[in-house]
Amino acid sequence: MSSVGEEVIEHYESLHESVAMDWWQREWTVDTLGVRDDGSWAAFESALNVQRQNGKGSPADAIELGGLFLLGETLIVHSAHQMKTSREAFVRVAKIVDANDELSKHVRRVMRSKGEEGFELMDGRRLMFFSRSDGSGKGFTGNRIFLDEAQELEGEEMASMAPTMMATVDAQVCYTFTPPRRRGSHVARLRRRAKARTDDRTIYYGWENPRGTSLDDLAAYAAANPAYPHRITRERIEDMRRAIGDDELFARECMGIWQFEDEDGWLVISEQLWEDGRDPLSEPKNVLALACDVLPDRAAAAICAAGHRADGLLHLELTGKDGVADYLPGAGWAVPRLQEIVANLGRGSRPCVVVVNDQAVAEAAANAGLTVYRPQVRDVAAWCGQFFDEVAGPHAPARRLRHRGQVQLDSAVALAEKRPMSGGFGWLQNPVLTAASLAVGGLLTPRIHQVSRQPVSAFVAQGGGAGRKQSNVDQDGNRVIRMGGGSDNDRSE
């Protein structure tokens, strides 16, 4: 393996001769920009965990300027949790570009709109700076996503951004962060993967101290701060301790001490219980329940399927095609994909129910000819609880759920957090796990089944003209969205 990192560093240092990158900044840059024999990046993810003010901005600037002006990357997105941090990164790079005629002559325009700053070159290549907190930057397809303040990155934010890179031949995600404040964060999972060495596509550099480290230990100052003692001094660290006034916060913010072990990330369902249900050969019988869930901000949607297996156990999967899982940005793709899944099942294997937990998507599906069930709050709460029981309930023989071990589904379970709901709980900002729970719950609730309970004609709303969508309540009080009028042959159920 070779690297273009040294070339990028030389380019960066030539832009301001008084600056020389530290050894640790150089090493991370070189490793991050390692390339395989075919010229593609050796790593898909590269993470730098280091305390504030040590200088993690320099390698970020070097890689972004190198990617834009040397490596020909089409779109680079720099994202920070807060707008002020994103803008600070833009200002740093803008000062370098403005001070160098050799760079400036390639720039067509500089965008300075608050919250969406960036550069566009004469040939259309761009470097953009966004704040994640205001939702900017979602949906972009680029060569590189640089995620600063990644300790604040939620799994769902990453899920909404990562699919945008699927169509890019050679893409890379870079993270810079300090220890997160809570369990189950995206960087905690990334750190665990790196420590376990479960893949060779992740680079992790971390300056940290173990829990229990004395906050008076000078060696610990150096262990967490690679710029110690020439830029980060002992006096400044001790000043920060007094200013913060809380040893736990000081330990996290200045000493690189994680307040929890990343293995604790599986907060609701243990990793072992989820692994117990893994069966790469799992297959359902003909009857399937389908379910779709959409994030409230419509940033992403997911479709899952559940079915009974021949051995009486339950099968669950995140649907997909051509190697791409049905967990994608936006929601407009969901109805055509549901139609495609139903059509491919064939007449003899049509789903017993299609659950859609979003009013707009449910209505669009009804207009497209699908019969869907729009769950009530009590359904969602009951079915999330039912899913939990099938995976992690106290009675082992009742844990019937089996899955093939899909990465996105594994991630959704690992990041599961409960949110209180009337009659139980739901999953917090987790469309994959919610869709999975609704698919399992829909499968195990015969009263809402389209086929097994009543003939198709019983699901046709009475009255109304052909093609008029109606949202009705059936004899059990269930809300069912369907197409009114027409014959049975006019509907695909």
List pLDDT tens digits, range 140-158: 567 898 999 898 886 656 6
Average pLDDT over residues 289-304: 92
E runs forming strands in 137-192:
144-147, 172-177
The Cα 88–Cα 115 span in angstroms is 11
Q: Is 202 within 8 Å of 368 (Cβ atoms)?
A: no
The pLDDT assigned to 254 comes to 93
CATH of the domain at 145: 3.40.50.300
Q: Are residues 298 and 438 in the same domain?
A: yes
* Residue 347 DSSP one-character state: G
Statement: the pTM of the whole predicted model exceeds 0.85: no
Phi, psi of 306 (to 5 degrees): -135, 150
Considering 206, 221, 245, which residue would you say is the last residue of a domain? 206
More confident residue, 245 or 116: 245
Closest CA to 207 of 191, 184, 186: 191
Q: Are strands 353-357 and 288-294 parallel, antiparallel or unpaired?
A: parallel
CB of 396 within 8 A of CB of 379?
no
Say yes or no to pLDDT of 23 above 50.
Answer: yes
Residues 350 and 485 in one domain: yes
Residue 292 DSSP SS3? strand
Over 50: is that where the pLDDT of 471 sits?
Answer: no
461 domain-assigned: yes
Q: Is the model more confident about 480 or about 454?
A: 480
Cα–Cα dist 94/110, whole Å: 9
Does residue 310 share a domain with residue 177?
Answer: no
Same domain? 158 vs 285:
no
Residue 121 falls within a domain, yes or no? Answer: yes
Give residue 453's pLDDT: 34
Cβ neighbours for 328, distance < 8 A, ≥ 6 positions apart:
163, 300, 301
Which token pair is 45? 């993810």
* Residues 327-345 pLDDT 10s: 998 999 999 999 999 988 8
Residue 490: CB atoms within 10 A of its CB come to 12
- The predicted pLDDT at position 183 comes to 65
Q: Is residue 238 part of a domain?
A: no
Min mean pLDDT across 27-31, 187-191, 208-212, 443-447 is at 187-191
Same domain, 283 and 187: no
What residues pair up with 427 in beta bridges, in sequence order? 418
- In tens, the pLDDT along 110-143 reads 998 877 799 999 999 999 998 876 555 555 567 8
For tokens 């339950």, what's the residue? 314
pLDDT of the residue at 167: 60
Question: What mean pLDDT is reported for the chain?
Answer: 84
Q: What is the pLDDT of residues 346-362, one digit of tens each?
A: 655 678 999 999 999 99
Residues 129, 111: Cα–Cα separation, whole Å: 10
- pLDDT at res. 161: 62
Q: Clarify whether residues 134 and 6 are in a common domain.
A: yes
Q: Is the pLDDT of residue 448 over 90?
A: yes
323 or 15, higher pLDDT: 15
Per the domain annotation, does 151 fall within a domain? yes
Per the rule left: phi > 0, alpha: psi between -120 and 50, beta: everything else, 304 is beta
Measured distance CA(298)–CA(377) in Å, rounded: 19
In order, the DSSP letters of 149-164 are TGGG--HHHHHHHGGG
Distance CA 403, CA 44 (A): 26
In this structure, are 199 and 315 located in the same domain? no
The answer to whether the beta carbons of residues 98 and 209 sit under 8 Å apart is: no
pLDDT of residue 106 exceeding 90, the answer is yes
Summarize the confidence of residues 231-258 as an average pLDDT: 92
Domain limit, last residue, from 185, 206, 227: 206
| Count: domains in the chain | 2
Q: Is 403 contained in some domain?
A: yes
Q: What are phi and psi of 359, to 5 degrees?
A: -65, -45
In contact, 148 and 89? CB cutoff 8 Å:
yes
**Residue 125: inside a domain:** yes
**Is the domain of 281 the same as that of 192?**
no
DSSP characters over 220-231: HHHHH-TTTTTT
Write the CB contacts of 87 (distance below 8 Å, at least 6 apart in sequence): 114, 115, 117, 129
User: Three-class SS of residue 256?
Assistant: coil
Average pLDDT over residues 389-396: 92
Contacts of 99 (CB under 8 A, 6+ apart): 15, 16
Residue type present at position 212: G
Whether residues 154 and 67 share a domain: the answer is: yes
One domain for residues 312 and 437: yes
Instruction: Say what the pLDDT of residue 135 is.
Output: 56
* pLDDT(99) > 50: yes
Pairwise CA distance, residues 187 & 197, whole Å = 15
**C-alpha distances in angstroms, 23 versus 26, 79, 386?**
5, 25, 53
Weakest mean pLDDT among 254-258, 320-324, 326-330? 320-324
**How high is the pLDDT of residue 353?**
94
In this structure, what CATH number is given to the domain that contains residue 418? 3.30.420
88 domain residue, yes or no: yes
Alpha helices, H only, 211-303? 218-224, 234-244, 247-253, 271-276
End-to-end CA distance of the chain: 54
Q: Which pLDDT band, with edges at 50, 70 and 90, does 310 fall under?
A: very high
Q: Does pLDDT of 88 surpass 70? A: yes
> What are 279's two structure tokens?
């069966």
Q: Show which of 180, 206, 232 is a domain's final residue.
A: 206
Let me know if residue 19 belongs to a domain.
yes
**Gap between the Cα atoms of 234 and 269, Å rounded:** 43
The answer on 144 and 13 residing in a single domain is yes
Residue 164 has what pLDDT?
59
Pair 75, 202 in one domain? yes
Using CB atoms within 10 A of its CB, is residue 169 exposed (0-12), middle (13-18) or buried (19+)?
Answer: exposed
Range of the domain at 436: 271-490
Distance CA 389, CA 36 (A): 45
Instruction: Assess whether pLDDT exceeds 80 at residue 196.
Output: no
Residue 446: CA atoms inside 13 Å, Cβ hemisphere, count?
Answer: 4
Among candidates 426, 301, 425, which has minimal Cα distance to 360?
A: 301
